[in-house]
Amino acid sequence: MRLDKYLKTARILKRRSVSKELADQQRVYVNERIAKPSTEVKEGDLIKVLFGNRELTVRVLQLQKQANKNDAALMFEVVEETIIHNPTLSES
């Protein structure tokens, strides 16, 4: 399954266009490599997404073409979630 579609179907990101945009900005990694929106993901892959002030790493557990809210939560497990603090913002 394409990375941008997986991120949307698993409800990690709200829209496929947002997934594509983050990948185009080199803010999405699959197995520690910068990923394109068309990168194929498979079960067991680690996906790291950098967005806003968060860094989210998840492990792909299932691939589904469609998923309701409850099923989407079963498609991945959160490995790590980090809040990134910007020191230049806290100085003001």
Domain segments of the chain as ranges: 3-90
The two structure tokens encoding residue 3? 């990375």
What integer pLDDT is reported at residue 88 of this predicted model? 60
Q: Does position 91 have pLDDT exceeding 60, yes or no?
A: no
Tokens matching residue 76: 């991945």
pLDDT band, very low/low/confident/very high, at 70 (cuts 50, 70, 90): confident
Torsional sign, CA 44, 13, 36, 66: positive
CATH for 3-90 is 3.10.290.10
Q: What is the pTM of this model?
A: 0.85
- Bridge-partner residues for 49, per DSSP? 28, 56
- Chain segment 27-66, per-residue pLDDT in tens: 999 999 999 999 999 999 999 999 888 999 999 999 998 8
pLDDT for the residue 92? 45
